[in-house]
Amino acid sequence: MLFLVVAIVSAALILGAVWGLYGPLPSPVEGFMVALAGGALIVSVTIELIEPASHHLAFPWLAVATLGGAAGFTLADRWLDHSTAESEGTGLLLAITFDGVPENLALGVALIGAGWQEVAALAGAILLSNLPEAAGGAKEMRAGGMSRGRALGLWSATAGLLAAAAVAGNLLLRDAGPQTLAAIRCVAAGAVTASLATEVFPQAFREDHYGTGIAVAIGLLTAFGLSLLAG
């Protein structure tokens, strides 16, 4: 089950990138999908990351880990904007990498002794967010002048990195304490929150102004429904 779940979640990045590079992706559709992914991530941050971590971390440490994840993403995003000429679309790539590594570590840990409902809920939320973000990011890379081959290579490498994180979470963190796992979840939550504010929602509104709010609500309800399935 470990490799099947990891393969499905990671393949969403590659399929999304292929769609953004080679398939039709009108701007309103792109914006709607990115907003939908953002809505799903709101639920993931609260229910699948922050809330479970709160059972094992005192609030001050929970806040430190969460703010650390947000600060780490923000600093890296700023550095990328100032140092990379071909920055179009790489912000979303960075967002997926920064929040995806700890998120996939958590996915790998969740697979340890978990039922299929819990695994399906977390994996579904990750897949739902990865597909449209990869499509939009790859499209922006191409629009910024990056070759299709290089863009697809970057997204494929990211998919491989996140797959390795999930496998590592499953194999290397079996004996980790609950506080360590809780801290990992909080770092992921902070990175996700920062990426929503600086990358995901601004892009969605640029592409699909008035549909953004509806898409966010749909994504939120979809992810919440998956969380009820896990319950």
CB 92 within 8 A of CB 157: no
- Give residue 61's pLDDT band: very low, low, confident or very high (50, 70, 90): very high
Q: Is 112 helix (H, G, I), strand (E, B) or coil?
A: coil
Tell me the helices (H) and strands (E) count for the chain, helix number first: 10, 0
Per-residue pLDDT at 191: 82
Rounded to the nearest 10 degrees, the angle between the axes of helix 90-110 and helix 116-143 is: 170
For residue 117, give every residue at least 6 positions away whose Cβ sits within 8 Å of its Cβ, in sequence order, or none. Answer: 229, 230, 231
Quote the CA–CA distance of 137 and 89 in Å, as a whole number.
4
- Give residue 67's pLDDT band: very low, low, confident or very high (50, 70, 90): very high
Check whether 57 has a pLDDT greater than 90. Answer: yes
Quote the CA–CA distance of 33 and 38 in Å, as a whole number.
9
- Give residue 46's pLDDT band: very low, low, confident or very high (50, 70, 90): confident
Per-residue pLDDT at 154: 86
Mean per-residue pLDDT for 162-168?
A: 84
Quote the CA–CA distance of 128 and 9 in Å, as a whole number.
9
Mean pLDDT of the chain: 80
Q: Which candidate, 192, 207, 75, 70, places its Cα nearest to that of 137?
A: 207
